[in-house]
Amino acid sequence: MRLLEGRVALVTGGSRGLGRAICLALAREGADVAFNYSRNDADAADLLERLQAAGVRGWASKTSVLDRAGLQTLARTLETDAGQIDILVNNAGVGQVVPLALMEEEDWDRVMSVNVKGAFLTTQAVMRGMIKRRRGRVLNISSLAGLKMMEAPVHYAASKAALKGFTEALAKEIGRYGITVNCLAPGILEEGVSTNLPESRLAEYLRHCALGRKGTFDECAEVAAFLVSDRNSYMNGATIVLDGGV
Ligand SMILES: NC(=O)c1ccc[n+]([C@@H]2O[C@H](COP(=O)([O-])OP(=O)(O)OC[C@H]3O[C@@H](n4cnc5c(N)ncnc54)[C@H](OP(=O)(O)O)[C@@H]3O)[C@@H](O)[C@H]2O)c1
């Protein structure tokens, strides 16, 4: 029996990067996987093919995590088609390398909105069904930048720190319904939001990282698949750091 056989998952921002790796890891463990994205249809179509090739049901939806009505329709449609949503991974996120002095108000709003409000809106859309079924797993993707003092853009660090608080308060609120809420905080990964980091910041990270290298999306996705599984039944409100030992 695979780890997630019979489960249905929704992964936000699944079309590329870490979200894509998580979708594929969940599918490999037997889950049917839906994901949303905001712009790139080609990436989404490619992932959908990969999910189908893995022998599970897959759904792609071009719905921003800031589109409240769209997310509610997505959750309703998925519950009708798939019967349930057992797992939610709040992965969609954006970053931007800019010092505070040069940060525009729109920069702050965009990063905080996608990274924090997006998790709120998506979780709210999915939560009712989980409460009704008295079962669910929510995993929020934070970042080491939200937990440790390190050189990171302040809006990004603030948004990722917010997800830790979101995780803990929500875990307390809905644990009584048999739903667990945890958080995964990766260090610097191979690509994605860390692509444009200045060399000096990367070098500083690598100097402090006991493994002396960046993490991969697959390494992170492996852990995510375990965290949302029924084998991980007593962890709740936790933030798991995955950083090679910084
Ligand atoms: N990469 C790292 O080093 C690293 C380290 C720690 C934490 N993280 C976290 O891991 C998560 C994924 O990062 P990543 O590096 O994989 O990023 P990425 O490669 O830039 O991928 C971001 C994904 O989110 C989607 N997305 C962006 N805005 C969206 C919106 N408004 N609504 C729905 N989907 C949206 C993108 O879809 P479109 O292409 O269609 O826009 C894409 O699928 C983020 O939360 C990030 O903070 C990453």
CA of residue 72 to ligand 1 center, whole Å: 21
Counting from 1 in the atom list of ligand 1, the atom nearest the Cα of 215 is 3
**156 a catalytic residue:** yes
Residue 196 pLDDT > 90: no
Shortest-distance Cα residue to atom 3 of ligand 1: 189
Encode pLDDT of 21-62 as tens digits.
Answer: 999 999 999 999 999 999 999 999 999 999 999 999 999 999
Residue 109 pLDDT > 90: yes
Q: What is the rounded CA–CA span in Å between residue 40 and residue 19?
A: 14
Residue 76 pLDDT > 90: yes
Residue-range domain boundaries for the chain: 8-241
Dihedral pair phi/psi, residue 61, rounded to 5°: -140, 125
Encode pLDDT of 144-179 as tens digits.
Answer: 999 999 999 999 999 999 999 999 999 999 999 999
Q: What is the rounded CA–CA span in Å between residue 218 and residue 199?
A: 23
Name the CATH code of domain 8-241 (choices 3.10.180.10, 3.30.70.270, 3.30.9.60, 3.40.50.720).
3.40.50.720
Residue 10 pLDDT > 90: yes
Counting from 1 in the atom list of ligand 1, the atom nearest the Cα of 144 is 6
CA of residue 19 to ligand 1 center, whole Å: 7
Question: Which of 18, 71, 121 for a ligand 1 pocket mutation test, highest count of atoms within 8 Å of Cβ?
Answer: 18
Cβ distance 28 to 51 under 8 Å? no
Instruction: Check if 220 has its Cβ closer than 6 Å to any atom of ligand 1.
Output: no
Residue 1 pLDDT > 90: no
